[in-house]
Amino acid sequence: MTTEAATPDTPCSPASGGAARADVEAIVELVRQPAAVVAREGAAGWSPTVRREVLAQVGVAISGLGTVRGAVLVVEKTSQEWKGTGAGSFDIWAAGRSGQSKRATSREVREAEQLDAVPDAAEQVVAGAIGPERARIILLASDPTERGATEGGAT
């Protein structure tokens, strides 16, 4: 049995992000199932234990996916390939794709850039060991010059 070597242009090669894209598509599909149940039936009939477990797990998922989105946005910004789209700025381009405001997207990118400098914190967020707020505290402690930007002093 022979296997073809993956190249950056191969849809599922690590360099192309094909496996990550497939994983994210699967996650989105999985999220639609409980979202449809909640939309249809609500969560009022759930026991307190189930509600708390769901809240915890959804928090971990959101933090992990936010870390992924932030990392991808940083690469998009650095690549400058977005300039060919006609968007006036990266923040406008990114906001149009994320469904967030320009300000929220800008903050997410700034925090993702800072998180790149502290990979241990990023890994802990993805693992669900810490949340984004605690990661911001770690970032502040590791680089006090970022305090103003992280606390909203810069836009």
How many domains in the chain? Answer: 1
In sequence order, what are the residues at sequence separation of 6 or more whose Cβ sits closer than 8 angstroms to the Cβ of residue 1?
none
**52 in a structural domain:** no
Q: Provide the 10 A C-beta neighbour count for residue 151.
A: 10
**80 in a structural domain:** yes
**136 in a structural domain:** yes
Q: What is each CA distance from 80 to 52, 83, 84, 146, in whole angstroms?
A: 42, 6, 8, 24
Give the per-residue pLDDT at 103. 94
Angstrom distance (rounded) from CA 125 to CA 137: 12
**139 in a structural domain:** yes
Give the per-residue pLDDT at 137. 84
- Residue 5 backbone zone (phi > 0: left; psi -120 to 50: alpha; other: beta): beta
- List, run by run, the mean pLDDT of 10-residue segments along the chain (155 residues): 40 63 88 88 92 90 86 92 91 90 91 84 84 81 58 46
Angstrom distance (rounded) from CA 76 to CA 97: 12
Angstrom distance (rounded) from CA 16 to CA 131: 29
**130 in a structural domain:** yes
**67 in a structural domain:** yes
Angstrom distance (rounded) from CA 74 to CA 135: 17
Of the candidates 133, 145, 86, the one whose C-alpha atom is nearest the C-alpha of residue 107 is 133
Angstrom distance (rounded) from CA 97 to CA 116: 22
Per the structure, the complete domain to which residue 101 belongs is given by 60-150
